[in-house]
Structure 1
Amino acid sequence: MVAAVIASWVAVALVVIIAWPRLVAERSARMIALVLISGLSLVHQLMFDMLAEDAFITFRYAENVAEGHGPVFNIGEPVEGYTNFLLLGLLSVLKAGFGADVVLSARVLGVLSTIGCVVAAYFLARKLSGRSAAGVLAAALTATVSNLAAYGASGLETSLFALLVLGMLLAACYEHWVIGGLLLAMAVLTRPDGVVVGAVLLGWLIVRVLRQRANWWQVTAFVLASLVVLMPWTAWRALYYGHFLPNPLVAKQGGEFSWQLGQGWEYLGGYLLAVPALLLLALAGMVLVVLRRAVDTETLRAQYWLVVTLCVVFAGFVVLVGGDWMPAWRLLAPLGPVLAAGAASGLILLSKVDTPAPANRVAPALVIVACAFSLVASIWQNGMLSAVREWRAQVDQLGEIGSWLGEELPRGTVISTYANGALSYRAGNGLPVVDQLGLTDEYLAREVEPEQTGGRGSLAFDFEYIVDTRRPSVVIPTQSGYDTRKNCSIATEFRGDYIPKAFRVADSDDWVTVYLRGTEASQLTGQLAASDKFTPARCP
């Protein structure tokens, strides 16, 4: 796939550079270029082929909804262990109404949303600059944004959220405030971060009112359109789950602010080092548009300031929350298309688009070079591609462990795991799962003081509660798939109540260690040994 990505970039580069005069002058040429760029986006996503561990938590919820058990992780336990209600709802409808596979549906939706970001960036750049050719440049930059492509097929809501952010910006630029308010509500239903984007848009609109460039009816329309969706949704959540904040947000609160801020700055710094060319082009665009007042009207300058403000505020928000533990800077993915639109809007001013002579190719040449830098970052810089592929291998292995447990253990057997995604989903809803991180457990998330845990942030732990209250029959200690050697040790927290048991994975040198509750160990060993793929070994 690396070769396919490079070939696609070469094709886009040749079209954009050689056919630039036609792209400036002809709409049909721009549409052909947009299709070609969308193809580049597709192969860029397929190169990563990510399937995120945390996405499987949503998949398990969706399966339970589709089967009539309601939005729960464990049947009969109403716990809000997700933050992406819109994605959950879409997957549930596709599964219940059409029998669609939940995992495949989520991945296809993510890929299409990423391509949608390419198209939305095209229209946003065209609107910001007032010149259609800028859209082609923005689309090309968006198609090569590393972290957006990495999470396209991940099954997470990342690309869908980025698309909704772009939709809100377009609604603001075209002054469709009812649509903007509805898109804001959809964004908040997709990720809590949508509140930050909505606050920026609302603040910008109020400033426009104070400067007599807008009116209070537009503010009212924007706010009411969002509240008409958000208020009943919030009321339902409070009644069904008994809380206003979902478990994943509550469970991660409580770390020292200075430590969290340091993590956030490190996270942002890594992202900026991965997108230097895009960032420089965006800064150049800001200089050309804002400081030199190069665009034609005050309205266009104000819209550009909206884009700049959103990027700064959203990046600051990610720093404040301490970033994220997943590879490839997931939380900052929405910024890529916005930066691309801003960069293209400014750079188009370097080209004399009204007289499309072949020599006027400075802007497209800079964009193609920036695209090359982005693809180099995707493939080689900071081990991004290798980190994603390693994570995907771990997720696949955790899923195999989950399938093994689901097939061999009797329905109702309680298990506990640290990696509560692919393993739990593949185990099936017949096995209640105790999440050692508290993301899908009410008590751990809301009653236990979180601890700082390095790359995963602040999370809640109470192993005494797990052992004595939830009493799982099987504990799976791994968070990264198979072991490369036999391991008969046991964590201190489970010693005394559980015994370790090592299983060898068939046709490999890989191993899995599980902790079996002492009073059930013999029976559980026999049940798990029934599998052809996992063979028990003697532990001292």
Structure 2
Amino acid sequence: MDHSFRIARHLASRTHTGRHAKRIGVATVSLLALLFAWTYRGFSFDDAFITFRYAKNLAEGAGPVFNPGERVEGFSSSVWMLVSALLMTVVGKDALSLIAAIKVVGLLFGLLAVLGCWRLAEDLVPERPSLAGFLGALVLVTTGYFPIWAVGGLETPLFCAEIAWFAVFLVEERATGRAKPSFRPALLAIALAWTRPEGALLAALFCCHLLLDVARRRASWRTLGPALACACGVALLFGLRWAYYGELLPNTYYAKSSQARLSSAMSGFFYVFKWLTGLDAAVHRWSIPVSSAMGDIPYPPGAALFGAALLGAVRPGGRRSARLLTGGLALALICATVVEGGDWMPGFRFLVPAFPLLAALSAAALCGPLERLRPGVRLLVGISAALVIGAPWAALLQFRIDRAGTARGAELISSQYVRAGSWLKTHVPADSVLAIGEAGIVPYISEHRYIDLFGLNDKVVARMPGYWFYKKPTDYVLSRDPDYIVLAGDMAPDPGWAARFPPHLREQFMSHRRFLYPHGDALARSAAFRERYREIAAVGRPSSADNFVIFCRINEGPTTRTCRRPLL
């Protein structure tokens, strides 16, 4: 059994100086994380309210559904949905109060991930645990994208914390030789699978890892206990999903992956390439356009972090097997991102969960050269190197925070989203059926039944060809005959956009208006849509593209509804 890393770490931490230095380091890094979180406090995405709507229906007894009676799994994290449902019992169901509370919860999980990164770095560099832990946590916090998503309202910080501590327990268990197999890694592997789809991959790798050790007689047969527990926990997730939703995979998978596998993998590859290089123009042609909407990043945000982590994983010295194991976990997450096709949101959300592992490995790479320096110089040089690796200015320059804490370029929970939801709740009958693409805060506030034009919460649209934003479910939507259709687009006429239409349509109903997504253009070109629907309201700011144009069905018959005039 290898106890060297435990002995070295405990000897350093038991001294008064070591404990005092660690407290100061943890406090410093935590305060820095809080500062970054406050800077990005206005960073929120509409998708958070998709999960909130499922949680709200669950809390009200309708089950984890988007529309009562329709069993579709349009959320990506079962654990985060349950956390949101529990949070509603404390803060209520008000949209703005809920997003503020979930940001606080996310920040707490983010701090837990920072502590996990500190602990992991200590385990990887037992001869300098305090220095390694401090540098690893500092690199993680200063990456910029990690604190952004800590307050983004989604499950990313929870997943980061689980991965960090999963790696800690796995490394420490291997160091003890598994004389008494621990169930801690198995329990966290189950939590990973329940938190994100990529977590199931890590859980499968964990089980294979244990079985391989038993087959090679590196571990006793008792090791099969944690492997069996992990397999049962993951099987329970898939079993419950199949029993309730009738699918083995969440509907979000089909909505975001209904393109050719090669095309999806190419999008994922260039998503990772942009993180490594900061380049956008070179990959915009091949990657998902909306994932590159922020433009070129002034500083390569991932090259230094990935390069330092690679050096830390392969450098000679003690605990190399643990460092290679940590690097393997990080590489598995990056490969999963490639297979999934990347993500459309700014800030490299799908790659952030690998940051705690990469940061700990970066600390291992730094500690070797720093050994040759005097203590005071060592700390100064280490902090400077951590800032270069983390590159916080990449995120700061990319998002350009204003005085209100609003991040430029993000799909924020802005006034027009709230206004659109409130207008629909006030002026549209409660039993109406609506169609919309942005299925977050607007449906959450208005509380109507919705058809999701992006397909996250609709099984039929999800399986249509094309990537998530580029589906054109015109015939399907019109066959459902919704009472109202809500489209995102500019409020001001755009003559340049009107030129795209045939001449006989340019002066007709709605032909001048530019819509934000292809499904809006497809509906605008549909004769059936122009005959059956008319515009009744436009909610938003004239200078913004994130506005909502509301159309009402005008067909005659016993089911005709009275189209409300806009209250603007």
| Structure 2 counterpart SS, 1:524 | coil
Shift of 1:105: 3.1
What CA deviation, in whole Å up to 9, does each residue of 1:341-392 have, x standing for no partner? Answer: 0111232223339x96434447614434326x621111114x5769943324
Q: Which residue of 2 aligns with 1:286?
A: 313
Q: Which amino acid aligns with 1:476?
A: V
RMSD, matched Cα = 3.1
In the alignment, structure 1 residue 156 sits paired with structure 2 residue 158: no
| Structure 1 residues 154 and 148: CA distance shift in structure 2, 3 A | same
Matched, 1:190 2:207: no
1:523 corresponding residue in structure 2: 562
> Could you list the per-position Cα deviations for residues 29-75 of structure 1 after superposition, in whole angstroms to 9, with x for gaps in the alignment?
21122112111112212222311121110011111111222111112
Query: Residue 16 of structure 1 corresponds to which residue in structure 2?
Result: none
Aligned partner of 2:112 among 100, 110, 116: 116
Query: What number of residue pairs does the alignment pair up?
Result: 487
- Distance 1:243-1:284 versus aligned 2 partners, 3 A rule: closer
Change (3 A) 1:201 1:401: same
Contact 2:40 2:407 in 1 (8 A): yes
Q: Per-residue deviation at 1:304?
A: 0.8
Match of 2:206, as an amino acid? L
Which one of the candidate residues 377, 387, 393 is aligned to 1:369? 387
Partners of 1:233 and 1:365 in 2: CA distance? 43
Confirm whether residue 258 of structure 1 aligns to residue 262 of structure 2: yes
Q: The residue matched to 2:391 in structure 1 has which SS? A: helix
- Give CA deviations for 1:156-200 in whole Å, capped at 9, x if unaligned: 111111111112111111226411111111111111110222233
Contact 2:510 2:524 in 1 (8 A): no
The answer to whether structure 1 residue 334 and structure 2 residue 368 are counterparts is: no
Structure 2: segments with no counterpart, 5+ residues: 1-13, 174-180, 278-300, 495-508, 512-522
Amino acid aligned to 1:364: G
Provide structure 1 residue ranges, at least 5 long, that are not aligned to the other structure: 1-21, 535-540
**Residue 471 of structure 2 is aligned to residue 436 of structure 1:** no
Give % identity: 27
User: TM-score w.r.t. structure 1 length?
Assistant: 0.82
Match of 1:466 among 454, 477, 500: 477
Secondary structure at the residue paired with 2:531? coil
Distance 1:519 1:158, change over 3 A: same
Q: Write the distance in 1 (CA, Å) between the matches of 2:392 and 2:15.
A: 23
Q: Is the 8 A contact 1:503 1:512 kept in 2?
A: yes
Q: Note if 1:26 corresponds to 2:37.
A: no
CA distance in structure 2 between the aligned counterparts of 1:145 and 1:443, rounded to whole angstroms: 39
Distance (Å, rounded) in 2 between the aligned partners of 1:153 and 1:276: 24
**Equivalent pair of 2:323/2:361 in contact (CA under 8 Å):** yes
Say whether 1:325 aligns with 2:344.
yes
Decide whether aligned partners of structure 1 residues 462 and 305 sit closer, same or farther in structure 2, where only a CA change above 3 A counts: same
Once the two structures are TM-superposed, the CA of residue 132 in structure 1 deviates from its matched residue by 1.6
The amino acid across from 2:313 in the alignment is: M
* Aligned counterparts of 2:391 and 2:210: Cα–Cα separation in 1: 33
Cα drift, residue 450 of structure 1: 2.0
Contact 2:55-2:84 at 8 Å conserved across structures: yes
> How many Å separate the matches in 2 of 1:497 and 1:76?
27
What's the offset of the Cα at 1:505?
A: 5.1
1:468-512 per-position Cα deviation (integer Å, ceiling 9, x unaligned)? 22x21111110x6x6355893361242222123343659999964
Among 55, 60, 66, the alignment partner of 1:62 is 55
SS at 1:358 equivalent: helix
> Over residues 108-152 of structure 1, what are the superposed CA-to-partner deviations in whole Å (9 max), with x where a residue is unaligned?
221111111111100000011113221011111111122222211
What is the CA–CA distance in structure 1 between the aligned matches of 2:54 and 2:262, rounded to whole Å? 35
Distance 2:205 2:414 in 1: 36
CA contact (8 A) 1:62 1:91 kept: yes
Instruction: Give the whole-Å Cα distance in 1 for the aligned partners of 2:243 and 2:215.
Output: 39
The answer to whether residue 219 in structure 2 is matched with residue 180 in structure 1 is no
Which amino acid in structure 1 is aligned with residue 241 of structure 2?
A: R
Determine the C-alpha separation between the residues in 2 that align with 1:426 and 1:306: 46
Residues of 2 paired with 1:462 and 1:324: CA distance?
A: 22
1:419 to 438, 441, 449: 438
- Distance in 2 (CA, whole Å) between partners of 1:384 and 1:210 is 53
Q: 2:289 maps to what in 1?
A: none
1:232 aligns with 2:236: yes
1:501 to 502, 524, 536: 536
Distance (whole Å) between structure 2 residues aligned to residue 61 and residue 433 of structure 1: 13
Q: Which has the higher helix share?
A: 1
Instruction: Kindly indicate whether the alpha-carbon contact (under 8 Å) linking 2:91 and 2:98 is maintained by their aligned counterparts in 1.
Output: no
2:466 to 451, 455, 459: 451
